[in-house]
């Protein structure tokens, strides 16, 4: 049986993305773990040169742990459309450009889906994927990954969440992530359903490394 290292102290959240920061802080708060962001500490954003979500999460966590000398928590996540051979995938944020214009990014996804004739719901299947990594200053790593399946809708619906949330309709639900409250999308039981990809990955991490306080 694999031995996991418990998370006991405050973490650095290795992100400069305000939407992701809110979700990750909310998840950690459930377990009484405080956090400061890489942006608040003025840490640089490393080049994400990995070819998988897991590799890029590791790069970000390792960079923040080295720069801050604190345990650091990173997420790499994105949207993978079946009809686009998994794109935008690890490039999900980059499709939004330097200004993080996800309206533009969603339009790009829709344009490409139309080019391949993906009009019917069964041709618009997709997954949101999240890889989480916690890295300690001594180099120890804990890594977890999860996904949620759904369908890409058009036009986008809702103004909650961030990124591609308004065009992603999770299986078994009538609201897109962009229409859901934060509790419905990523709140953990018993408050929420742990529905999102990030919440599902976090529940795996929590089971291994955290205790409710």
Cβ atoms of 167 and 156 within 8 Å: the answer is yes
Indicate which CATH number applies to the domain containing 121.
3.90.950.10
Query: Is position 96 within any domain?
Result: yes
Mean pLDDT, residues 96-115 taken together: 96
In a domain, 37, yes or no: yes
Residue 1, domain member (yes or no): no
pLDDT tens, position by position, 29-78: 888 898 999 999 999 999 999 999 999 999 999 999 999 999 999 999 99
Confidence of residue 114 (pLDDT cuts 50, 70, 90): very high
Assigned domain for 3 exists: no
Q: What is the reported pLDDT for 31? A: 87
Contacting residues for 165 by C-beta, under 8 A, at least 6 apart: 158, 176, 177, 178, 185
| Residue 201 in this model has a pLDDT that exceeds 50 | yes
Instruction: Tell whether 107 is covered by a domain.
Output: yes
Give residue 89's pLDDT.
Answer: 98
Confidence of residue 213 (pLDDT cuts 50, 70, 90): low
Q: Do residues 35 and 10 touch, judged by C-beta distance below 8 A?
A: yes
Please check whether residue 2 lies inside any domain of the structure. Answer: no
pLDDT score at 125: 98
Residue 6, in any domain of the structure: no
**pTM, whole model, 2 decimals?**
0.90
Place of tokens 């031995």: 3
Predicted local confidence at residue 211, as pLDDT: 77
Alpha-carbon 9 to chain mean position = 22
In order, the DSSP letters of 104-152 are HHHHHHHHHHHHTT--SGGG-EEEEEEEEEEE-TT--EEEEEEEEEEEE
Per-residue pLDDT averaged across 16-31, rounded? 85
Q: Which domain holds residue 191?
A: 11-209
Give the rounded percent of residues in the chain with a pLDDT score beyond 70: 97
User: Is the residue at 72 inside a domain?
Assistant: yes
- Positions marked catalytic: 76
Does residue 152 contact residue 168 with C-beta atoms inside 8 Å? yes
Residue 94 has pLDDT above 70, yes or no: yes
> 40 Cβ partners below 8 Å, 6+ apart?
none
Backbone angles phi, psi at 27, to 5 degrees: -65, -45
Q: What is the DSSP string of 40-59?
A: TTTPPPPP---SSHHHHHHH
Please give the average per-residue pLDDT across 79-92, as a whole number: 98
Q: What is the pLDDT of residue 191?
A: 67
Provide the mean pLDDT of the chain: 92
Share of the chain above pLDDT 90, in %: 77
Q: Would you state the structure tokens that stand for residue 185, as one six-digit string?
A: 């999308």
Q: Is the pLDDT confidence value at 152 over 80?
A: yes
Confidence of residue 1 (pLDDT cuts 50, 70, 90): very low
What's the N-to-C CA distance of the chain in angstroms? 25
pLDDT value at 204 more than 90? yes
For residue 161, the 8-state DSSP code is S
pLDDT recorded at residue 132: 96
| 81: confidence class by pLDDT, cuts 50, 70, 90 | very high
Which pLDDT score is estimated for 190?
61
Overall number of domains in the chain? 1
């Amino acid at each position: 049986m694999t031995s996991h290292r418990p998370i006991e102290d405050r973490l650095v959240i290795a992100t400069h993305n305000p939407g992701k920061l809110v979700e990750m802080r909310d998840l950690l708060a459930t377990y009484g773990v405080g956090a400061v962001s890489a942006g608040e500490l003025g840490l640089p954003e490393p080049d994400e040169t990995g070819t998988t979500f897991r590799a890029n999460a590791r790069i970000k966590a390792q960079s923040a742990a080295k720069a801050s000398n604190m345990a650091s928590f990173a997420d790499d996540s994105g949207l993978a459309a079946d009809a686009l051979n998994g794109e935008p995938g690890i490039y999900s944020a980059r499709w939004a450009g330097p200004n993080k214009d996800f309206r533009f990014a969603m339009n790009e996804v829709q344009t490409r889906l139309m080019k391949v004739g993906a009009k019917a719901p069964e041709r618009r299947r997709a997954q949101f994927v999240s890889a989480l990594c916690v890295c300690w200053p001594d180099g120890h790593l804990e890594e977890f990954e999860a996904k949620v399946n759904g369908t890409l809708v058009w036009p986008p619906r809702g103004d909650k969440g961030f990124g591609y949330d308004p065009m992603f309709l999770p299986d078994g639900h009538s609201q897109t992530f962009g229409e859901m409250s934060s509790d419905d999308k990523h709140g953990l039981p018993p408050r929420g359903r742990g529905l999102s990809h990030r919440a599902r990955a976090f529940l795996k991490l929590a089971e291994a490394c955290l205790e409710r306080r």
